């Protein structure tokens, strides 16, 4: 059952009139009727007697009304306390990020966090995956968006989505790629990433099981520019599948269809801090932004 259904029941019981209840709740009469019907179906009892053109409480409705009013009072108390806390929680939150703010839904998250905790000083810091976890454990970061597995028992994770990476190549290789195996693909020129980056970890994961090592001819920490380097013909790289498919559809690069590597995007934080007000606020907002059921 939903809190709005209980609220509708209490107001209809108090007013004894569907139309007046709809006016108080600022909803339509059919909506009020639907709320009551859904609540009755879930409880398995009739709450109102609708005979003789009137609506009155049944015996069951009379017995439940005091309990419903107690529940609504507790809910309103919690809501009031939460609103009060929004104006009290202060401090600083430093959030680790890794490229592509749209992919992280960073704007919506930061906007929601500021609205929930207006006194909180919020900072973001781009941090390589290889350093981010240690920075969270040390307290240099309050939390962070992380790609990959987390094996540190001091840390807790909120999984956001799975991410698939594909092998992409300059269009000049397009006709030859279908006939290549792992050995030929590894021998082509590759664009690498620093050892502390998630892209480097993905590349190692992808090739470690194939018994070959990619021929990295250039390394860049500008991971957002990988697609432009591939388009320019510098070499092969890994790319998020959604970006790779869009670029391939525009004939900007080619995809080798025989290899891919999975990863996981998570929101990572210190497990011991899970009940602290700032982190409670962050987790609440990120669940809302990513539509994750608690």
Q: How far apart, in whole angstroms, are the C-alpha atoms of residue 116 and residue 278?
A: 10
147 and 272 in a single domain? The answer is: yes
Check residue 250 and give its pLDDT: 95
168 and 251 in a single domain? The answer is: yes
Check residue 204 and give its pLDDT: 92
Domain encompassing residue 124: 91-161+266-289
Residue 122 CB neighbour total at 10 angstroms: 16
Strands 155-169 and 120-126: unpaired
The model's pTM is 0.69
With b meaning 16 or more CB within 10 Å and e meaning fewer, what string describes 77-113? eeeeeeeeebeebeeebbbbbbbeeeebbbebbbebb
Check residue 85 and give its pLDDT: 59
CATH code of the domain containing 35: 1.10.10.10
Task: Decide: helix, strand or coil at residue 199.
Answer: helix
CATH code of the domain containing 172: 3.40.190.10
Check residue 218 and give its pLDDT: 95
Per-residue pLDDT in tens (0 to 9) along the chain, 294 residues: 788 899 899 888 888 888 888 887 888 999 999 999 999 999 999 999 887 667 889 999 899 999 988 888 888 767 656 665 566 777 899 999 987 899 999 999 999 999 988 889 999 999 888 889 999 999 999 999 999 989 888 999 999 999 999 999 999 999 999 999 999 999 999 999 988 888 999 999 999 989 999 999 999 988 778 889 999 999 999 999 999 999 999 999 999 999 999 999 999 999 988 888 889 889 999 999 999 875
Check residue 239 and give its pLDDT: 95
Check residue 53 and give its pLDDT: 66
User: What's the structural domain count of the chain?
Assistant: 3
Check residue 259 and give its pLDDT: 92
16 and 67 in a single domain? The answer is: yes
């Amino acid at each position: 059952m939903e809190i709005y259904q209980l609220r509708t029941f209490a107001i209809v019981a108090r007013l004894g009139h569907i139309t007046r209840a709809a006016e108080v709740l600022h909803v339509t009469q059919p909506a009020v009727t639907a709320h009551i019907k859904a609540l009755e179906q879930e409880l398995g009892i009739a709450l109102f007697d609708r005979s003789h053109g009137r609506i009155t409480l049944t015996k069951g409705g009379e017995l439940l009304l005091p309990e419903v009013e107690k529940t609504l009072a507790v809910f309103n108390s919690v809501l009031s306390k939460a609103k009060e806390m929004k104006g009290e929680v202060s401090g600083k939150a430093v959030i680790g990020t890794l490229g592509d703010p749209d992919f992280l839904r960073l704007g919506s998250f930061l906007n929601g966090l500021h609205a929930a905790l207006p006194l909180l000083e919020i900072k973001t810091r781009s941090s390589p995956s290889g350093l981010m976890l240690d920075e969270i454990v040390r307290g240099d970061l309050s939390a962070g968006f992380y790609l990959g597995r987390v094996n540190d028992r001091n840390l807790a994770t909120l999984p956001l989505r799975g991410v698939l990476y594909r092998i992409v190549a300059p269009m000049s290789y397009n006709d030859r790629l279908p006939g290549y195996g792992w050995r030929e693909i590894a021998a082509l020129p590759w664009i690498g990433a620093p050892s502390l980056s998630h892209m480097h970890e993905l590349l190692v994961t992808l090739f470690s099981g194939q018994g070959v090592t990619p021929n990295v001819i250039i390394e860049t920490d500008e991971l957002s520019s990988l697609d432009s380097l591939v388009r320019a013909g510098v070499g092969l790289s890994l790319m998020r599948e959604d970006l790779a498919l869009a670029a391939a559809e525009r004939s900007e690069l080619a995809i080798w269809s025989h290899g891919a590597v999975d990863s996981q995007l998570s929101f990572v934080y210190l497990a011991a801090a899970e009940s602290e007000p700032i982190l409670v606020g962050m987790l609440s907002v990120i669940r809302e932004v990513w539509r994750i059921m608690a």
